Amino acid sequence: MKTKPILSHLFRYLRRSLPLLALALLLAAGSVILQILVPRQIGKAIDTIVGPDKVAFAELWKFLRTAGIFVLISAVCSWLMTLLLNRVSFRTVRDIRNDAIDHITRLPLAYLDSHQSGDIVSRVITDVDQVADGLLLGFAQFFTGILTIVGTLTLMFLTNVKIALVVMLLTPLSLFVARFIASRTFSMFKEQSVARSRQTSLIDELVGQQKVVQAYSYEARAVEQFNDCDRKLCDCALKATFFSSLTNPSTRFVNSTVYAACTLVGSFSVIGGGLSVGMLTTMLAYAGQYAKPFNEISGVVSELQNALACASRIFELLDEPLPAENCQSAEATSDVALPESLRGDISFEHVAFSYVKERPLITDMNISVRAGSRIAIVGPTGCGKTTLINLLMRFYEIDSGTVTFDGLPLTSIPKPFLRRNIGMVLQDTWLSDGTIRDNIAMGRPDATDEEIKEAAKAAHAHSFIRRLPNGYDTVLGEHGGGLSAGQRQLLCIARVMLCLPPILILDEATSSIDTRTEWKIQDAFSVMMKGRTSFIVAHRLSTIKNADLILVMKDGNVIEQGTHDELMTGETFYRTLYLAGSGTT
């Protein structure tokens, strides 16, 4: 991403704070103008005390008092400008992060699966902070610097044309040096940002899987892996910082040359009578003021380049295309007359799908499911069971073919409406930071306490919840920290039992639960599944013998389908799986 599109993106966010930004710039302009006028007052004050017995105290105090007032007002303006720019900066950061999170929640799972979570977190947190620190705060220095350069140069021309010409002719050297170095540091800072995101991803991975790391004595290799990642980040950071830091001393050298030339030309002017001592002092002060912005700007070049590199990464994320259907407004834009709820008649006709286009997974899937029936999905690991669930939920879009719900094409059903009609219990549990009550009521925030307790009782979670320190008001840690895997799964089951949607998906829903509790849960599921279309993914085939339809999958396709008794007749693949699972030969 080039610099111009990045700044265009950023301006879209700054536009929301234009009044504050305009006021800040107005204050900056006032502060700069007053600072520029101070040397003129000092020069006049010096001219009142040049020569023996020629001190005009009244004039001296007047000029000094005026200079003091200018300095005081300039300081107040500068302070107010900083407050306003900080407000603009924090508001912009807030808006970018809000948009980023909103965008992430609507991105297809294909994008999230192909990017490390640590990289995405690094973009939303660290990169946005760098944008605020570098671009927005550096912008103030650029603006005040430009005003200072223009103002001082104007007053220098009004005071002495020769000295002003010397300054103006030597200035391009400073600009050339700064631009030459800055143009070569952008790519280095982008490398640094990428290396930082890799480090964040690794830390996230190691901290999140610490039990596995310790269980396999992987600590030494993990540290070595981190050190390698840290070395790469250090190399990138040192290289970027070294090259960017050349700007400041280079421009300082040029500016010192400008100051020396002004002093030389100004001294000859004083000797020739063309310039007073006070005005020479003013001109030298202007030369210093004129040079200062170049030094300041060059000093923040590294931060600006870093900020631009980070901004390119966050805007790449924000520019990632969303699916054609916007999750947030899908229902409002749907042209299909939607029923109050789905019945659960589902059909797959000649469906093809692949995660990677070069490697087909599902090539020609045909399934017909009646509303209210129980469908079991079985097959070896990697056969496509979870993929079928992903397609039902529209986590992924099919490549070709047709999927219909109650005769409606799946692509015409808004995702929020579809997912409100489907309840899922997955093998991998997910609980948010919050109370147990909040986690159970995630799908129905308006549920009463009594309804939440009834759902927990149906899921056989009520007994362990009562034993917790604060019962249903117990606050859970990250990912349900403090609860066992089985307890977390019971809460996820209670969450679905509270919603009771017309379609259920149970993907190894009792994998972490003890056998005795599992049988009780199975009884609760049997009651819950009556009259509801239910998809059951199970490795223990004995638990799905009573299913109305069993889909046997292998290599991404349904190779057999029927009831348990039908599939046990003959030398079927299902019979082989069932006998192997039961230990029968």
pLDDT tens, residue by residue, 25-58: 889 888 888 888 888 888 878 777 766 666 677 8
Q: Is the pLDDT assigned to residue 392 strictly greater than 80?
A: yes
Domain count, the chain: 2
Q: Identify the band that residue 73 occupies on the pLDDT scale cut at 50, 70 and 90.
A: very high
Q: Is the pLDDT assigned to residue 200 strictly greater than 60?
A: yes
Residue 134: DSSP 8-state:
I
Q: Which amino acid is at 559?
A: I
**CA-CA distance, 415 to 366, in Å (whole number)?**
22
Place of tokens 């239910």: 534
Q: What is the pLDDT at residue 197?
A: 78
Q: What is the CATH number of the domain that holds 116?
A: 1.20.1560.10
**Domain boundary residue, one of 453, 482, 500:** 500
Q: Is the pLDDT assigned to residue 20 strictly greater than 90?
A: no
Token duo for residue 454: 């009834």
Q: Which amino acid is at 522?
A: Q
Q: Identify the band that residue 328 occupies on the pLDDT scale cut at 50, 70 and 90.
A: very low
Residues 174 and 297 in one domain: yes
Q: Is the pLDDT assigned to residue 585 strictly greater than 50?
A: no
Exposure b/e, 86-97, CB count within 10 A at least 16 = b: eebbebbbeebe
The lowest-confidence range among 252-266, 396-410, 443-457 is 252-266
Residues 108 and 246 in one domain: yes
Residue in 537, 559, 542 with CA at minimum distance from that of residue 376:
537
Q: What is the pLDDT at residue 131?
A: 82
Torsion from C-alpha of 35, 37, 38, 41, nearest 10 degrees: 180
Residue pair 518/510 in contact (Cβ under 8 Å)? The answer is: yes
In the chain, % of residues over pLDDT 90: 4
Q: Identify the band that residue 156 occupies on the pLDDT scale cut at 50, 70 and 90.
A: confident
Alpha carbon separation from 109 to 136, 223, 338, 359 (Å, rounded) = 33, 31, 25, 18
Residue 456 has a CB neighbour count (10 Å cut-off) of 26
What pTM was estimated for this model as a whole?
0.65
**CA-CA distance, 456 to 450, in Å (whole number)?**
10
The answer to whether residue 563 sits within a structural domain is no
Q: Which amino acid is at 532?
A: R
Q: Is the pLDDT assigned to residue 168 strictly greater than 90?
A: no
Residue pair 575/568 in contact (Cβ under 8 Å)? The answer is: yes
Tell which wins on pLDDT, 361 or 171: 361
The answer to whether residue 409 sits within a structural domain is no
Q: What is the pLDDT at residue 178?
A: 67
CA 444 to chain centre: 28
**Domain membership of residue 480 as a residue range:** 423-500
The answer to whether residue 137 sits within a structural domain is yes
The predicted model gives 557-571 an average pLDDT of 87
The answer to whether residue 19 sits within a structural domain is yes
Residues 83 and 229 in one domain: yes
Task: Supply the DSSP string of 20-41, one letter for each residue.
Answer: HHHHHHHHHHHHHHHHHHHHHH
Task: Supply the DSSP string of 322-361, one letter for each residue.
Answer: PPSS-TTTHHHH--S---SS----EEEEEEEE-SBTTB--
**CA-CA distance, 422 to 499, in Å (whole number)?**
9
Q: What is the pLDDT at residue 198?
A: 81
The predicted model gives 305-333 an average pLDDT of 70
Place of tokens 């002719």: 169
Residues 314 and 438 in one domain: no
**CA-CA distance, 313 to 16, in Å (whole number)?**
22
Q: Identify the band that residue 404 occupies on the pLDDT scale cut at 50, 70 and 90.
A: very high
Q: Identify the band that residue 265 occupies on the pLDDT scale cut at 50, 70 and 90.
A: confident
Q: What is the pLDDT at residue 583?
A: 42
**Domain boundary residue, one of 299, 318, 337:** 318
Residues 435 and 298 in one domain: no
Residue in 213, 208, 237, 236 with CA at minimum distance from that of residue 225:
213
The predicted model gives 381-400 an average pLDDT of 85
What is the widest separation between alpha-carbon atoms in the chain?
Answer: 125
The answer to whether residue 154 sits within a structural domain is yes
Tell which wins on pLDDT, 521 or 420: 420
pLDDT tens, residue by residue, 408-448: 998 888 888 888 888 888 777 778 778 889 889 988 888 89
Q: Is the pLDDT assigned to residue 329 strictly greater than 50?
A: no
Residues 298 and 438 in one domain: no
The answer to whether residue 252 sits within a structural domain is yes
Residues 299 and 447 in one domain: no
Residue 216: DSSP 8-state:
T
Q: What is the mean pLDDT of the chain?
A: 80
Q: Is the pLDDT assigned to residue 367 strictly greater than 80?
A: yes
Residues 173 and 303 in one domain: yes
Residue pair 17/10 in contact (Cβ under 8 Å)? The answer is: no
**CA-CA distance, 211 to 1, in Å (whole number)?**
40
Ramachandran assignment for 534, one of left (phi > 0), alpha (psi -120 to 50 degrees), beta (any other): beta
Residue pair 369/375 in contact (Cβ under 8 Å)? The answer is: yes
The lowest-confidence range among 201-205, 329-333, 472-476 is 329-333
Q: Identify the band that residue 72 occupies on the pLDDT scale cut at 50, 70 and 90.
A: very high
Q: From edge to edge, which strands make up the β-sheet containing 346-353? A: 362-369, 346-353, 400-405, 408-409
Token duo for residue 460: 């056989």
Residues 305 and 438 in one domain: no
Residues 440 and 302 in one domain: no
Alpha carbon separation from 542 to 178, 527, 553, 580 (Å, rounded) = 74, 18, 17, 11
Q: What is the pLDDT at residue 326?
A: 47
The answer to whether residue 578 sits within a structural domain is no
- Residue 365 pairs with which residues in a beta bridge? 351
The answer to whether residue 475 sits within a structural domain is yes
Residue in 198, 19, 11 with CA at minimum distance from that of residue 96:
11
Token duo for residue 433: 């930071």
Residue in 61, 301, 7 with CA at minimum distance from that of residue 175:
301
Ramachandran assignment for 352, one of left (phi > 0), alpha (psi -120 to 50 degrees), beta (any other): beta
Place of tokens 């007749």: 569
CA 59 to chain centre: 61
**Domain boundary residue, one of 454, 479, 500:** 500
Residues 310 and 443 in one domain: no
Residues 282 and 156 in one domain: yes
SS3 call for 154: helix
Q: What is the pLDDT at residue 512?
A: 64
Q: What is the CATH number of the domain that holds 483?
A: 3.40.50.300
pLDDT tens, residue by residue, 453-496: 998 988 888 888 998 888 898 888 766 667 877 788 888 888 88
Q: Is the pLDDT assigned to residue 209 strictly greater than 70?
A: yes
Alpha carbon separation from 476 to 56, 81, 443, 484 (Å, rounded) = 78, 44, 18, 12
**CA-CA distance, 185 to 313, in Å (whole number)?**
16
Q: What is the pLDDT at residue 60?
A: 79
